[in-house]
Amino acid sequence: MVSEMQFVIIATYTELEDTEARWHQPRVVFIDRGNLIKGTVS
C-alpha cells in the first residue's frame, strides 16, 4: 500500500510486431507533487 507523499513508479509494457517495434517511441512522463505534468521525454 502507498501512503501520502510516497512516490510510485508505474510501468506499462506491450507486445509489438517487428515492424511496429522499429518505430515505437516509449514515453516518460514527469509529474509534480500535485499530479500535474511537468514534462515528457520520448
**Whole-number pLDDT of residue 5:** 80
Q: What is the CA radius of gyration of the chain?
A: 14
Mind listing the pLDDT tens digit for each residue in 14-40?
Answer: 999 999 999 999 899 999 888 899 999
Q: For residue range 5-15, what is the model confidence (pLDDT) as tens digits? A: 888 888 999 99
Choose among 10, 13, 1: nearest CA to 35: 10
Number of domains comprising the chain: 1
User: Distance (Å, rounded) from C-alpha 27 to C-alpha 29?
Assistant: 6
What is the domain extent for residue 16? 1-42
Per-residue pLDDT, 28: 92
